[in-house]
Amino acid sequence: MAAKEIRFETPIEGEMEQAIMDRLMNGFQNWNGGYDGWLKWCDTLYEPDAYYNIPGPHGQIRLTLDQYKAAMGQLFQHFTMELGNFENLITKGDWCAIRYTVKIRNLDTGEEILQNTMEFVKFKMNPDPIGARVVEGWALSDISLA
């Protein structure tokens, strides 16, 4: 499963919005390489001082990029996570809202699920060759892996 299409997207109105779209489409192609591939992709997708907000036991938890990488490393020890299609992609200025599917396999039980995830992400434009990178993001899924 790889992002081959965007089912519903907003029209691209500017250079920043196009840079976000390009970054996300490229990112989905790079995600499906396991944890090592994901870590490598982090260097391209995120600002070094980026934050990511994920669901925790008592609400959203704001993680530094290093904390987020560690949390994902723990998940990758027990799950494969293959990103699917974008269901929605809305860009406006330096903000993006995306909804996509993730095919997840529990390595301990063999169980497979299809997770629906939504993210709201703020980007920053950097000079070439760096380009658009995430400053902060908020994620929520219909099925928790924690």
Grade residue 24 by pLDDT with cuts at 50, 70 and 90: confident
Q: What is the pTM of this model?
A: 0.86
Q: List, in order of start, the domains of the chain with CATH numbers.
A: 19-115+122-141 (3.10.450.50)
Q: Which residues contact residue 132 at a Cβ distance below 8 angstroms, ignoring those fewer than 6 apart?
A: 16, 19, 20, 22, 23, 123, 124, 125, 126
Contact 61, 53 (CB under 8 A): yes
Which percentage of the chain shows pLDDT scores above 90?
A: 61
CB 89 within 8 A of CB 21: yes
Q: What is the pLDDT of residue 8?
A: 59
So what's the pLDDT on residue 2?
A: 47
In the chain, pLDDT over 70 holds for what percent of residues?
92
Per residue in 98-120, pLDDT (tens digit) is: 999 999 999 999 999 999 999 99
Does 9 score more than 70 pLDDT? no
Q: What is the pLDDT of residues 35-62, one digit of tens each?
A: 888 888 888 899 999 999 998 888 899 9
- Mean pLDDT across the chain: 89
Q: Residue 5's pLDDT is what?
A: 61
> What are the phi and psi torsion angles at 65 (to 5°)?
-60, -40
